[in-house]
Amino acid sequence: MRKLVISDIHGCLDEFQKLLALVRYEPADDQLLLLGDYCDRGPDSRGVIEEIMRLSEQGNVIALRGNHEQLMLDALLLEGQDERWIRNGGLQTLASFTGEEPLTEGFAWEDYERQKRNVREAFASHIAFLNELPLYHEDDHFLYVHAGINPAAADWRTQPERDFLWIREAFFQHPTSLDKPVIFGHTPTLRLQETEGVWDGGDKIGIDGGCCFGSRLNGLEIDEAGGWREHFVRKGCADDSDGTVTP
């Protein structure tokens, strides 16, 4: 069974759909692994989440939770958890769900609370879907996670939830000591190397191409033996700028 891995879509529905078309994704034959951060920053977070919900009903889809799903859930469901979500693209996500124009600097707090209330009431199934997303997935060849694992943890499975969602340097600057590579998103690969392509760090593989920042959406195609090749779709570009990289 072929596996396709994508991370950090961030509301970029067009690029997500183009990447699935580029790799000729077949729900009946392929496994799709999505490593979190479906919402915030990009133009259509609602569309991305609904597409993932639809794909999950059709085929073999494993969707993980990212830090931005957690930010969204915390802001919608808990008290006093709004500022960090707002700073990280939450207003764009609210607008995509309500159909209103995004709130701008100096917005009235009652308008923000009204939009949150509308989302809670009208999209309870979406919230429940996000709330049930797991933090990691493991198979014979790879460990899949949004941000990474803490190499200092005695058992990565019991590390704090925050590490699965937020860890950066403590993960990618140190060896993992696992018997398989970790495939992760969260940290744009331009922070790990000089290009936005997939970063092969040996015991870890970073795939966040920074699509929502104008770069590209990366995808890994993994064969049954664990070999992989890279596909990508550039943000807002014509089809002839997309491609496949064969190691």
What pLDDT digit, counting tens, does each position of 83-120 carry? 999 999 999 999 999 999 999 989 999 999 999 999 99
Distance of alpha carbon 164 from alpha carbon 149, whole angstroms:
6
Contact call for residues 139 and 180 (beta carbons, < 8 A): no
- Summarize pLDDT for 66-85 with one digit per residue, the tens: 999 999 999 999 999 999 99
How many angstroms separate the Cα of 119 from the Cα of each of 36, 49, 72? Answer: 20, 13, 11
Q: How many other C-beta atoms lie within 10 A of the C-beta of residue 137?
A: 18
Order of all β-strands in the sheet with 204-206: 136-138, 143-145, 182-184, 204-206, 199-200
**Phi (first) and psi of residue 5, to 5 degrees:** -120, 130
Sequence spans of domains, the chain: 3-245
**Statement: 3-245 belongs to CATH 3.30.43.10:** no
pLDDT digits (tens, 9 = 90+) for 185-209: 999 999 999 999 999 999 999 999 9
Residues 119 and 98: their CA atoms lie apart, in Å, by 7
pLDDT tens sequence across 157-192:
999 999 999 999 999 999 998 999 999 999 999 999
Structural tokens at position 31: 């496994």
The answer to whether 211 touches 8, Cβ cutoff 8 Å, is yes
